[in-house]
Structure 1
């Protein structure tokens, strides 16, 4: 019998390679709808890997977790309380602890007695997975929402995927969002409001009242996590003003007033509902013998305390007193806060990644592990280029009447750029009133990444040389983003580094002080 030229052992690898090549070929030649789904699934997978792994590392409280662990413990015990920020984020932290069900055998009650803990005094064995879980989940949702926003902005799947990597591989987002912080919840609702807004700007929604109300609801949810996102309501104002300007008649005025009322009504209803839910979920009166109880009771009216002590029924008056007391607490909580702090930064310098923050470092005798709030320099560099490019394109359109520019894309770019500037300048003002930190810039940073995508779309369709090398440029951007992320990932995930490995991360700019500091 004739011998076979190819042994069976060699057929399997050849068949596998053929199958992989066939899959890549089908994917490359897939229709746009299929490609959008596949790349969206890839964004989801990358986001889960980046934001959901190893949530209990470091297993110590860092930065604002020192405050939020105490707030969450009072939620666990259903004790009435007030905080520096609205209550919605703490509700999610409480829900995460209930889902995981950790720390049941530990005495965590002392957390409820104070407003801030010293992480060194935290009970041994405390598991942070639960309190950090939903922050990671919301971060993954944010990545998907960002992909959908960019896809809506530029209407091209591969470009949307590449520029979504700016969010997915942003070290500053990952290190901050994987912790028990409020920002991932705020970011998710903010991005949701931006996505809904895109269905209102320069187009007529299928269900306009419902769409504008959804925008107001999402802005309300974001506001009930951290109040600085209130500025995002301006996006809805841009849509209403544009429609009114385009028609300039009584019908358009009435229509804009009705839709504006839908935004305001949904926003107000959301704020009221969250405050009421917070009150009802926490009927237990604070302990006046604890530091936290004394501070909270100072802002709680007699009527509210009577309800908590079982002396009066729940009423609209009780809900009003509880909510207004919360507002008064937030209003005066920063009265005695210093406006200068070593980790504080000036908002005017935020686009330059001013003042990265060392959240924590741990030395094992040989190497040091860092939890460092430092961004991906590739992303931040592209952000600056995008903002400069947007300013140039807008100036050309408005000053030289450049009619070659796509009006739909330019309209979106102008609004996104205006929204970024409003956000940025508002926080520059806030920086004169209280200490600010670089993570307060996160919404502005996300807006700048959307601007990068829009600028690239406009430039690549206007200039032939960019259009010709578009795919190569996008691939190079992807590799650069991934490279920047990997380079700083040890600082993001609390990995141990030698001193030389640490100092390597101080190029091309000083990112951290390598520990332990050498004695002179």
Structure 2
């Protein structure tokens, strides 16, 4: 039995992770049976694909295309009249058909893909640390973060995008850890995966740094020798091999988006050019010439929309946005929706709040601080490194984290705490690497105390997740129970009385 477990350990761990992740993300994901936050926009967009109605939006179309495909496939609302969804960009309660709708179809892609993404997380950490136990433990940080769970269990974009982001990272790590050097076909496939992530939300462009990682490993000997001729010669082939598939993937998704828009909605033409509108009326939406015109219109709409988004105003009553500098501390929570009832003088409220698991987020912050200190000690003070491979992986993922945060700090428009979910993934991987680096000798010696401490940490993560689970799953809370969970004033949680 012991030999069987040892031989199939990775498969058993993956099965365990799938079961746990599926239970956390999939159980009752159709609840609350009501719209919240950006679902009002994305469900309207997805329905337009089903009905063949043209629209433009600030985000690329892949996420909404998957929602539309899922809704059509499940057919949970096939008997409902949802035509009002196509006559607005923001679905409200008065647009709902009699009896409401089921949300299972619209929410399925984000929920399922996020549940499956734990497989990529396990692969990333296992390949970089060479320790399946550490990989299993830190996958718990991905599964049991309240903010990740609430956003993934919705008709929103984060769960879909994070799946493709982790897929791209895993493939880059796989390329680097293979014995043979990277091939051009591998650059191309990495470009496709990055293109899919960017086709959900453009903030995934930070993944372009993965090309730098792969190229650096590919040409490490030439870099050390400072052989500029060899470096430039390889760049001449690797850049097109990676960037062209990325661009083609992005454009192919938009081609489907444009082709499906066969009717102009009555409420808005999205400032579409007269040429584009004429092609729609002529039924030529799948024509390549129409694509060229429509693509320009879509990019122009995205740019104009971004310019029109207001800036963060912390003095504004009810401001849900927050400054990026505070996100590592989980500022600030958002009350997506709530409902209440009163029984025998006691008020019970179902909150649906964006709240982080503070153990996960604070641990990630500590990991980033430690990794930056490690990098400074090496390159500024020339301190020795005890594991070169782990050190360079730490440089990679702390670099991804810092690069994303620096880029996001340049954006003046209002941003929200869930925009931190992308660097949070980088931070969880980095934390696993930092842990493996600090406890390298103990892990190599299979120290029982080290694994017990790691188990206690994971148990703490799980326990705190369930403390805040009422905000994630809309379980009823009394005012006293709410206050027990109101840990930090800067979270700005507000009780409903």
Structure 1 length-normalised TM: 0.88
Counterpart of 1:246 in structure 2 is 224
Q: Distance in 2 between matches of 1:99 and 1:337?
A: 34
Tell me which of 415, 423, 430 is aligned to 1:444.
423
User: Structure 2 stretches of 5 or more lacking a match?
Assistant: 314-318
* Inter-CA distance 194–62: structure 2 relative to 1 (3 Å threshold): same
The answer to whether the 8 Å contact 1:103/1:126 transfers is yes
Counterpart of 2:34 in structure 1 is 60
* Inter-CA distance 361–146: structure 2 relative to 1 (3 Å threshold): same
Q: Distance in 2 between matches of 1:510 and 1:119?
A: 32
Q: Distance in 1 between matches of 2:100 and 2:327?
A: 37
Q: Distance in 2 between matches of 1:220 and 1:335?
A: 24
Deviation, structure 1 residue 180: 0.3
Q: Distance in 2 between matches of 1:375 and 1:311?
A: 48
Counterpart of 1:331 in structure 2 is 303
Q: Deviations over 1:329-356 (max 9, x none)?
A: 1111133322125111111111111101
Tell me which of 142, 148, 173 is aligned to 2:117.
142
* Inter-CA distance 121–311: structure 2 relative to 1 (3 Å threshold): closer
Tell me which of 306, 312, 321 is aligned to 2:293.
321
Q: Distance in 1 between matches of 2:364 and 2:378?
A: 21
SS at match of 2:439: helix
Counterpart of 2:320 in structure 1 is 343
Deviation, structure 1 residue 306: 2.8
Deviation, structure 1 residue 377: 0.9
Pairwise mapping of residues 296-445 of structure 1 onto structure 2 (< 5 A)?
Answer: 296=270, 298-302=271-275, 304-310=276-282, 314-340=286-312, 342-365=319-342, 366-430=347-411, 432=412, 434-445=413-424
Q: Distance in 1 between matches of 2:182 and 2:292?
A: 33
* Inter-CA distance 80–502: structure 2 relative to 1 (3 Å threshold): same
* Inter-CA distance 132–411: structure 2 relative to 1 (3 Å threshold): same
Q: Distance in 2 between matches of 1:32 and 1:385?
A: 33
User: Structure 1 stretches of 5 or more lacking a match?
Assistant: 1-25
Which structure's CA Rg is the greater one? 1
Q: Deviations over 1:303-334 (max 9, x none)?
A: x3233222658532211111111111111113
The answer to whether the 8 Å contact 1:132/1:179 transfers is yes
Deviation, structure 1 residue 108: 1.1
Counterpart of 2:157 in structure 1 is 182
Structure 2 length-normalised TM: 0.92
* Inter-CA distance 30–484: structure 2 relative to 1 (3 Å threshold): farther
1:224 is aligned to 2:199: yes
* Inter-CA distance 478–301: structure 2 relative to 1 (3 Å threshold): same
Counterpart of 2:460 in structure 1 is 480
SS at match of 2:230: helix
Counterpart of 1:262 in structure 2 is 241
Pairwise mapping of residues 182-201 of structure 1 onto structure 2 (< 5 A)?
Answer: 182-201=157-176
Q: Distance in 2 between matches of 1:173 and 1:413?
A: 23
SS at match of 1:216: helix
Deviation, structure 1 residue 33: 4.5
* Inter-CA distance 314–491: structure 2 relative to 1 (3 Å threshold): closer
Tell me which of 212, 229, 251 is aligned to 1:272.
251
SS at match of 1:189: helix
Q: Distance in 2 between matches of 1:312 and 1:488?
A: 51
Deviation, structure 1 residue 253: 2.9
Q: Distance in 1 between matches of 2:418 and 2:493?
A: 19
Tell me which of 62, 74, 77 is aligned to 2:51.
77
Deviation, structure 1 residue 99: 2.0
Counterpart of 1:494 in structure 2 is 474
The answer to whether the 8 Å contact 1:502/1:514 transfers is no
Q: Distance in 2 between matches of 1:89 and 1:468?
A: 44
Deviation, structure 1 residue 211: 1.2
The answer to whether the 8 Å contact 1:138/1:188 transfers is yes
Deviation, structure 1 residue 459: 0.5
Counterpart of 2:263 in structure 1 is 285
